[in-house]
């Protein structure tokens, strides 16, 4: 068993887990951050995407012990500072960018990281940015719209 | 003023929770529960001769292992046949754990319960099962050849045989000026929600009550099924559906082996138990659909008008038939689409194979039926050298022929009578939207540039809102909030929003004041479930009817309080007032207080309804004989028969002359689901449906080898479309109200997926000039088809 400590959404959290504990399970079951979802556990769907030191990673492909000491951001951490919806979350709500919501945490973390580096994407770039995440419900059209809307919100064009 | 709620594209009420990580899906619950895992058959057909758990028993953290021998009572019996049918002469269902024989890869053989899923899987891998392999049947052709049998006592592998005929189709075809024969096939696909199934059960021994959470499309029926299987009084069982990560049909089947075994184990162990399906389990042990082979004979005249149509098809139902023959019945009836077929004969056989069972996936038999009919329409057009839309138009049922009786029996056992629709108008809109009449010039120009482009069309009619019923309960609380409960379940369709819109519109309250609960048997006990595009029609109307009762009661009580005629009252923004005289008013929440005569003043509001505070006649009891306390009502909506939505899709594709890569350049939809409750949500349903239609036409198929191994049971190999594969969908609506229900609505959930294979086959055929007769089609298959000059 190993003691693993990570900073999740700004809060230091730790738990003692076996070496084989996936980061996705560590977050969900050891730390109770169930916003992060798993859709495949083989790295294809992107539902489990979290930000590891700011970069999107598939938490189902990492062992918790391998990220000891890291900074993690999950969908719960994509809120606005006042606790309300963050810009990407707000955009998904406004554009009907989700239906069942199961894939949504992976999209929100992915888009959050993308827009940090690409504040003003074209529609084509927005589609490309979400190209590694699966959604079975929406057909992606409103997710693309959500990416563009989130960019506009972040640029202050509320 | 209350805004017009019904028909507005308001934002969804469920979103803030779901975008923040505050959703609660099955596996988010029961963090302290024991975990279950299953040993599943690696063989498609085998006798289980021994299950040896010796090595497994030493594992730290193991709690229990169960095999068939451990099951007792009705748990040891086969799972129920949910929808019997007279033509399903040889129905077979599986056992919760295999009873001596396994009939598909993935069938559960042993159940392990341990402290967590890691340990449970460790144990499962140490259980040694000895199998004696039996001959395997894969594919419709092998099933019909019947060299081997999936079920020993069904030697010909035929589970069901059904014929329906209207007129003498074969004579009409023989007598027609022109005849064509087509062979048309569709392969297997599956619902594939992003969240798999899951069950979590808690038994309270002191209270002798069971709580089951399941990621299901029908909590009420799971409740009855679990109570019956486990021999517990229904009153001691509650089933709750938490947030569900998509269903698309697969989660309507119940009870799954796990839905029986997890509660059963929780009771035996006296501890909470949870099972969360992983992706591979979902591929090999839930359900698939779509695989059918069809032979079509059609007779028609010089104008392309149908005189007779005869379709014979075979439906691969996999190893078991828990859901009866609903999908092939739907194919056989909905194949007719918006057309008058002349005389029609349809015959199908539903056959067993050693593959995962087949139950409805969004569209449920319609994509196959529409593929067959629309391929036939295109073939007639090509034969007569007519425009494809012209042939369709000439065969349309006209608006003045509604209601139109197709003379058949539909999937609900009721007549196939279309209630309303305007197909010529829909076609007109579609042609404008896609630019049908200008396309020939574009195609020629593209050809000149060495490009291949084609346009395709597909029309469908969809029976939605099947019975028998749904109900709703609506209550106005004394703080003015409105609580709506309905028994059917939600998998992302936005029910919290649309049912709130319906209730808000009827009651005259802001939509923000309404909360909606679905799929929780603690809140509403009688329901059927979410399938067949029925939620908005069934529960939507039930909510409206219950809300109307509440409104009538509110006006009566307010009329007494204000001493005015209730007919002069209306409700605006939660306030009852005399029409035109805003001063004479009373808040709905105050009416709710007055509706419940009280003895005890538990808060200031309640004090107004206590016995010394209220006035009223001393000659009458506080609650009249025909009245009940509370500002609430329950009502049910039970339709006479299904209501028929319709739509038409068109697509433009480009095929690469070298690589045969297929690209969808444009995708247009005209959709008529009667009155729209929330256009934003309907459009979203269409987007998602089209993505599944495109996936089913170009990418998704479930590939079994001859040994019955599913070769692509992962997201790496089963090609669900990403954003790069799904075209932008252009939508236009027509709103032809249904005369059958108070709201005038029709279902919308499945529509988008239905004509996908038909439309894209039509467009690829147009681009390539070779017949496309089997879907899905990959670039390599198109390349082969080019070489053969047909597919
Ligand atoms: S769960 Fe990690 S990528 Fe699918
Ligand atoms: S919203 Fe359901 S999977 Fe994306």
Residues A122-140 have pLDDT tens digits of: 999 999 999 999 999 999 9
Task: Find out whether the peptide bond into B434 is cis, omega within 30 degrees of 0.
Answer: no
Whether residues A133 and B722 touch (CB distance < 8 A) is answered with: yes
Give all strands of the β-sheet with B632-637 in edge-to-edge order: B514-518, B482-486, B470-476, B632-637
Report pLDDT for A150.
98
Report pLDDT for B790.
55
Residue A16, classified by CB atoms within 10 Å of its CB into exposed (0-12), middle (13-18) or buried (19+), is: exposed
Lookup: tokens for B310: 């005869």
Report pLDDT for B2.
42
H helix count then E strand count, chain A: 5, 5
Lookup: tokens for A24: 């996705």
Whether residues B15 and A35 touch (CB distance < 8 A) is answered with: no
For residues B341 and B346, what is the distance between their CA atoms, to the nearest angstrom?
Answer: 12
Lookup: tokens for A125: 């770039």
CA distances from A16 to A5, A20, A30, A37, B624 (A): 9, 12, 9, 21, 64
Residues 94-123 of A with CB under 8 A from B: 94, 96, 98-105, 108
> What three-state secondary structure class fits B148?
coil
Given CB atoms, is A33 within the 8 Å cutoff of chain B?
A: yes
Confidence check on the interface: ipTM exceeds 0.95, yes or no: yes
> What three-state secondary structure class fits B570?
strand
Report pLDDT for B4.
66
Q: Do B675 and B735 meet the contact criterion of CB atoms below 8 Å apart?
A: yes
What domains, with CATH codes, occur in chain B? 32-134+191-285 (3.90.1170.50), 374-464+642-788 (3.30.365.10), 467-637 (3.30.365.10)
Q: Do B683 and B787 meet the contact criterion of CB atoms below 8 Å apart?
A: no
pLDDT digits (tens, 9 = 90+) for B332-369: 999 999 999 999 999 999 999 999 999 999 999 999 99
Report pLDDT for B400.
96
Q: Do B565 and B587 meet the contact criterion of CB atoms below 8 Å apart?
A: no
Ligand 2 centroid–CA A99 distance in Å is 5
How many beta carbons lie within 10 A of that of residue B403, not counting itself? 15
For residues B611 and B596, what is the distance between their CA atoms, to the nearest angstrom?
Answer: 11
Q: Which of B83, B86, B94 is nearest to B161 (CA)?
A: B86
Whether residues A99 and B246 touch (CB distance < 8 A) is answered with: yes
Question: Measured between CB atoms, which of B11, B729, B752 is closest to A94?
Answer: B11
Instruction: List, as one string, the DSSP characters of B703-751.
Output: -B-TT--BTT-STTTS----GGGSPPEEEEEE----TTSTT-B---SSG
CA distances from A12 to A19, A68, A74, A112, A129 (A): 20, 11, 14, 21, 30
Dihedral sign computed on CA atoms, order A137, A139, A142, A148? positive
Whether residues B11 and A96 touch (CB distance < 8 A) is answered with: yes
Tally the residues of chain B. Answer: 791
Whether residues B723 and A76 touch (CB distance < 8 A) is answered with: no
CA nearest to A99 within chain B: B492
Q: Do B86 and B164 meet the contact criterion of CB atoms below 8 Å apart?
A: no
Q: Measured in whole angstroms, how far is the alpha carbon of residue B477 from the centre of its chain? A: 33
For an interface test with B, the pick among A49, A64, A100 (most B C-beta atoms closer than 10 Å) comes out as A100
Residue A65 gets which letter from DSSP?
G
H helix count then E strand count, chain B: 19, 29
Q: Which of B690, B668, B687 is nearest to B756 (CA)?
A: B690
> What three-state secondary structure class fits B254?
coil
Residue B141, classified by CB atoms within 10 Å of its CB into exposed (0-12), middle (13-18) or buried (19+), is: exposed
For residues B247 and B193, what is the distance between their CA atoms, to the nearest angstrom?
Answer: 5
Estimate the share of chain B in helix, then strand, then coil, as percent rounded to the nearest 5: 30, 25, 40
Query: 3-state SS string over B322-361?
Result: CCCCHHHHHHHHHCCCCECCCEEEEEEEEECCCCCCECCC
Report pLDDT for B1.
35
Crossing angle between the packed helical segments B366-384 and B756-768, to the nearest 10 degrees? 30
Residues 237-296 of B with CB under 8 A from A: 243-246, 248, 278-279
CATH of region A87-154, choose from 3.40.50.2300, 1.10.150.120, 3.10.330.10, 1.10.3720.10: 1.10.150.120
Ligand 1 proximity of A148 Cβ (cutoff 6 Å) = no
For residues B286 and B94, what is the distance between their CA atoms, to the nearest angstrom?
Answer: 12
Longest dimension (CA), chain B: 93
Classify strands B178-186 and B774-775 as parallel, antiparallel or unpaired: parallel
CA atoms within 13 A on the CB side of B278: 16
For residues B750 and B463, what is the distance between their CA atoms, to the nearest angstrom?
Answer: 10
Question: Measured between CB atoms, which of B18, B194, B729 is closest to A47?
Answer: B194
Q: Which of B586, B588, B607 is nearest to B597 (CA)?
A: B607
Q: Do A9 and A86 meet the contact criterion of CB atoms below 8 Å apart?
A: no
Residues 106-135 of B with CB under 8 A from A: 116, 118
Ligand 2 proximity of B19 Cβ (cutoff 6 Å) = no
Rg of chain A on CA atoms, in Å:
15
Classify strands B343-351 and B306-316 as parallel, antiparallel or unpaired: parallel
How many beta carbons lie within 10 A of that of residue B241, not counting itself? 28
Q: What are phi and psi of B141, to 5 degrees?
A: -60, -45
Q: Do B552 and B474 meet the contact criterion of CB atoms below 8 Å apart?
A: no
Q: Do B375 and B309 meet the contact criterion of CB atoms below 8 Å apart?
A: no
How many beta carbons lie within 10 A of that of residue B302, not counting itself? 9
Dihedral sign computed on CA atoms, order B405, B309, B317, B367? negative
Residue spans of chain B under pLDDT 50: 1-3, 791
Pocket residue to mutate for ligand 1, from A44, A52, A105, A110, most atoms within 8 A of Cβ: A44
> What three-state secondary structure class fits A123?
helix
Classify strands B729-734 and B662-672 as parallel, antiparallel or unpaired: parallel
Q: Do B736 and B674 meet the contact criterion of CB atoms below 8 Å apart?
A: yes
For residues A55 and B103, what is the distance between their CA atoms, to the nearest angstrom?
Answer: 46
Instruction: List, as one string, the DSSP characters of B435-466.
Output: TGGGHHHHHHHHHHTT-EEEEEEEEEEEEE--
Beta-sheet strands, E only, within chain A:
2-8, 11-17, 49-52, 55-58, 71-73
Residues 331-370 of B with CB under 8 A from A: none
* Annotated domain spans of chain A: 2-77, 87-154
CATH topology of domain A2-77: Ubiquitin-like (UB roll) (3.10.20)
Q: Do A114 and A74 meet the contact criterion of CB atoms below 8 Å apart?
A: no
Given CB atoms, is B689 within the 8 Å cutoff of chain A?
A: yes
Question: Residue B404: beta bridge partners?
Answer: B418
B395 CA: distance to closest CA in chain A (Å): 32
Q: Do B151 and B92 meet the contact criterion of CB atoms below 8 Å apart?
A: yes
């Amino acid at each position: 068993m190993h003691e693993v400590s990570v900073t999740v959404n700004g809060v230091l959290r730790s738990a003692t887990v076996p070496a084989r504990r996936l980061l996705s399970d560590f977050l969900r079951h050891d730390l109770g951050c169930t916003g992060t979802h798993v859709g495949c556990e083989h790295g294809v769907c992107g539902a489990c995407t979290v930000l590891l030191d700011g970069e999107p990673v598939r938490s189902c492909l990492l062992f918790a012990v391998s990220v000891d000491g890291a900074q993690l951001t999950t969908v719960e951490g994509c809120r606005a500072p006042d606790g309300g919806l963050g810009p990407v979350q707000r955009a998904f709500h406004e554009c009907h960018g989700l239906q069942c919501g199961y894939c949504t945490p992976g999209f929100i973390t992915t888009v959050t990281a993308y827009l940090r580096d690409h504040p003003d994407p074209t529609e084509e770039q927005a589609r490309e940015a979400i190209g590694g995440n699966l959604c079975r419900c929406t057909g992606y059209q409103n997710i693309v719209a959500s990416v563009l809307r989130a960019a506009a919100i972040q640029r202050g064009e509320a | 003023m209350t805004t017009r709620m019904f028909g507005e594209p308001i934002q969804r009420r469920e979103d803030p929770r779901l975008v923040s990580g505050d959703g609660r899906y099955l596996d988010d619950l029961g963090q302290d529960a024991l975990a279950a895992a299953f040993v599943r058959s690696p063989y498609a057909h085998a006798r289980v001769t021994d299950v040896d758990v010796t090595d497994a028993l030493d594992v730290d953290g193991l709690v229990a292992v169960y095999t068939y021998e451990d099951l007792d009572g009705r748990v040891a019996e086969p799972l129920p046949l949910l929808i019997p049918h007279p033509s399903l002469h040889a129905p077979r269902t599986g056992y919760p754990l295999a009873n001596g024989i396994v009939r598909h890869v993935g069938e559960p053989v042993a159940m392990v319960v341990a402290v967590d899923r890691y340990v449970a899987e460790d144990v499962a891998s140490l259980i040694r099962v000895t199998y004696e392999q039996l001959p395997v049947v894969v594919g419709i052709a092998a099933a019909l050849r019947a060299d081997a049998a999936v079920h020993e006592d069904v030697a010909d592998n035929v589970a069901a045989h059904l014929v329906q005929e209207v007129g003498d189709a074969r004579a009409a075809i023989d007598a027609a000026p022109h005849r064509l024969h087509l062979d048309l096939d569709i392969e297997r696909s599956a619902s594939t929600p992003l969240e798999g199934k899951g069950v979590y059960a808690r038994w309270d021994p002191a209270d002798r009550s069971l709580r089951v959470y399941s990621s299901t499309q029908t909590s009420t029926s799971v409740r009855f099924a679990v109570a019956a299987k486990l021999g517990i009084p229904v009153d001691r069982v509650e089933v709750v559906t938490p947030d569900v990560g998509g269903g698309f049909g697969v989660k309507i089947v119940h009870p799954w082996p796990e839905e029986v075994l997890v509660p059963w184990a929780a009771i035996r162990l006296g501890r909470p138990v949870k099972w969360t399906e992983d992706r591979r389990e979902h591929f090999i042990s839930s359900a698939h659909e779509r695989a059918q082979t069809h032979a079509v004979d059609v007779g028609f005249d010089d104008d392309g008008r149908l005189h007779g149509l005869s379709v014979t098809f075979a439906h691969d139902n996999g190893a078991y038939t828990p859901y009866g023959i609903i999908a092939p019945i739907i194919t056989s009836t909905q194949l007719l689409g918006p057309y008058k077929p002349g005389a029609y004969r349809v015959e199908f056989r539903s056959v067993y194979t050693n593959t995962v069972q087949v139950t409805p996936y969004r569209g449920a038999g319609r994509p196959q039926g529409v593929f067959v009919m629309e391929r036939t329409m295109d073939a007639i057009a090509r034969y007569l050298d007519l425009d494809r839309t012209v042939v369709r138009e000439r065969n349309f049922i006209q608006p003045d022929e509604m209601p139109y009786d197709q003379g058949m029996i539909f999937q609900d056992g009721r007549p196939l009578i279309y209630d309303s629709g305007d197909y010529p108008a829909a076609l007109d809109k579609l042609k404008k939207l896609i630019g049908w009449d200008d396309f020939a010039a574009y195609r020629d120009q593209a050809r000149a540039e060495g490009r291949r482009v084609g346009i395709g069309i597909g029309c469908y009619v969809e029976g939605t809102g099947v019975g028998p019923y749904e109900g709703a309960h609506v209550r106005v609380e004394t703080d003015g909030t409105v609580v709506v409960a309905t028994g059917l379940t939600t998998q992302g369709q936005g029910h919290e929003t649309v049912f709130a819109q319906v209730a808000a519109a009827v009651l005259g309250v802001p939509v923000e004041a309404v909360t909606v609960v679905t799929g929780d048997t603690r809140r509403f006990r009688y329901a059927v479930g979410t399938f067949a595009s029925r939620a908005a029609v069934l529960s939507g109307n039930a909510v409206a009817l219950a809300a109307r009762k509440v409104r009538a009661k509110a006006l009566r009580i307010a009329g007494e309080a204000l001493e005015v005629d209730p007919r002069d009252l209306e409700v605006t923004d939660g306030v009852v007032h005399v029409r035109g005289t805003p001063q004479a008013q009373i808040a709905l929440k105050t009416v709710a207080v007055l509706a419940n005569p009280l003895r005890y003043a538990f808060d200031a509001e309640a004090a107004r309804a206590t016995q010394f505070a209220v006035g009223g006649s001393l000659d009458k009891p506080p609650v009249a004989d025909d009245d009940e306390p509370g500002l609430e009502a329950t009502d049910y909506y039970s339709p006479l028969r299904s209501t028929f939505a319709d739509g038409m899709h068109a697509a433009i594709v480009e095929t690469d002359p070298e690589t045969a890569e297929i690209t969808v350049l444009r995708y247009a939809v005209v959709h008529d689901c009667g009155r729209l409750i929330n256009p934003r949500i309907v459009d979203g349903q269409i987007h998602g449906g089209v993505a599944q239609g495109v996936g089913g036409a170009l990418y998704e198929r479930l590939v079994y080898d001859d040994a019955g191994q599913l070769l692509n049971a992962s997201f790496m190999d089963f090609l669900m479309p990403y954003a790069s594969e799904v075209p932008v969908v252009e939508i236009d609506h027509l709103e032809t109200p249904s005369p059958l229900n108070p709201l005038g609505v029709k279902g919308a959930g499945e529509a988008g997926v239905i004509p996908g294979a038909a439309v894209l086959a039509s467009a690829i055929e147009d681009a390539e000039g070779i017949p496309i007769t089997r879907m899905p089609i990959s670039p390599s298959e198109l390349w082969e088809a080019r070489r053969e000059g047909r597919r």
